[in-house]
């Protein structure tokens, strides 16, 4: 049975889309957040589950969403649970554009062509159904204002929004300081969302590039000064390039 409701990556992207400029806030960290949102969505669908700091496939059955199913298949091919930080920190080309194009096909956003410096073609995106963006924002506002534990989907969305730095975009200035703090606190209400959010922040802090220290086998000590090899970040989703002369998508 296919998925019919909006997915977390779609909601995170709509939340980050500036209605005035047609650009996305926090473009670099947003790419990491979208990869993390895919993991949470697959967990909510019962396809994967956390295994410590790793992600394990518990059901390879397709969800009906092509982009999520691509990620699920790559996770399945790993054969063993993969660390969330390595999955999120791996290279992925065009993931944000994939979701923007999907939202455009669904009629949730529309593309606006333009030019940079009067020469280079650009594409910005405006929300076509602003009520959807308002509903997403209202869920976060309600969770922050009432203090009532939100549902897992909203808690995960809040965790990802905080992890990619959307707090200052959604609740700017000194007057938004308490709201940003409460947004951060919502991480604890969803274990999977919290795991993924912390992995997103760790990648931004460079933790993914640091090798893990593997213990020496029993009865043998590692040689002094020896450096353990880092765990390879394999099996991460990569979107195909659409051509060498692509339009610039405004961030």
Which pTM was predicted?
Answer: 0.78
* Mean per-residue pLDDT, 92-119: 82
* Mean per-residue pLDDT, 173-179: 94
The C-alpha angle with vertex 195 and arms to 228 and 9, in degrees rounded to 5, equals 115
How much is the pLDDT for 209?
55
Q: Looking at the predicted structure, is the pLDDT value of residue 239 above 80? A: no
Give residue 49's pLDDT band: very low, low, confident or very high (50, 70, 90): very high
Q: How far is CA 145 from CA 155, 179, 239, in A?
A: 14, 8, 38
How much is the pLDDT for 208?
57
Element (H, E) at 120: strand 120-127
Q: Looking at the predicted structure, is the pLDDT value of residue 233 above 60? A: no
Q: Judging by beta carbons within 10 Å of its beta carbon (0-12, 13-18, 19+), is residue 243 exposed, middle or buried? A: exposed
């Amino acid at each position: 049975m296919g998925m019919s409701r909006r997915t977390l990556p779609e909601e995170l992207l709509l939340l980050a889309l500036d209605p005035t400029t047609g650009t996305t806030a926090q473009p670099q960290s947003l790419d990491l957040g979208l990869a993390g949102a895919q993991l949470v969505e697959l967990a909510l669908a019962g396809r994967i589950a956390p295994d410590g700091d790793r992600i394990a496939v518990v059901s390879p059955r397709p969800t009906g969403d092509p982009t999520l199913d691509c990620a699920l298949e790559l996770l399945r091919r790993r054969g063993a649970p993969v660390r969330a930080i390595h999955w999120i920190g791996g290279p992925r080309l065009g993931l944000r554009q994939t979701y923007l194009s999907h939202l455009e096909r669904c009629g949730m956003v529309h593309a606006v062509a333009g030019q940079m410096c009067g020469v280079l073609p650009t594409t910005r995106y405006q929300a076509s159904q602003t009520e959807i963006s308002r509903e997403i924002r209202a869920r976060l506002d309600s969770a922050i204002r009432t203090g009532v534990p939100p549902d897992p989907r909203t808690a995960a969305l809040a965790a990802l929004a905080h992890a990619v730095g959307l707090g200052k975009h959604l609740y700017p200035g000194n007057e938004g300081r308490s709201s940003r703090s409460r947004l951060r606190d919502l991480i604890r209400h969803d274990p999977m969302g919290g795991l993924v959010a912390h992995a997103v922040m760790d990648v931004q802090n460079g933790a993914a590039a640091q090798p893990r220290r593997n213990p020496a086998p029993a009865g043998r000590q590692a040689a002094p000064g020896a450096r353990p090899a880092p765990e390879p970040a394999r099996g991460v989703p990569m979107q195909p390039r659409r051509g060498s002369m692509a339009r610039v998508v405004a961030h």
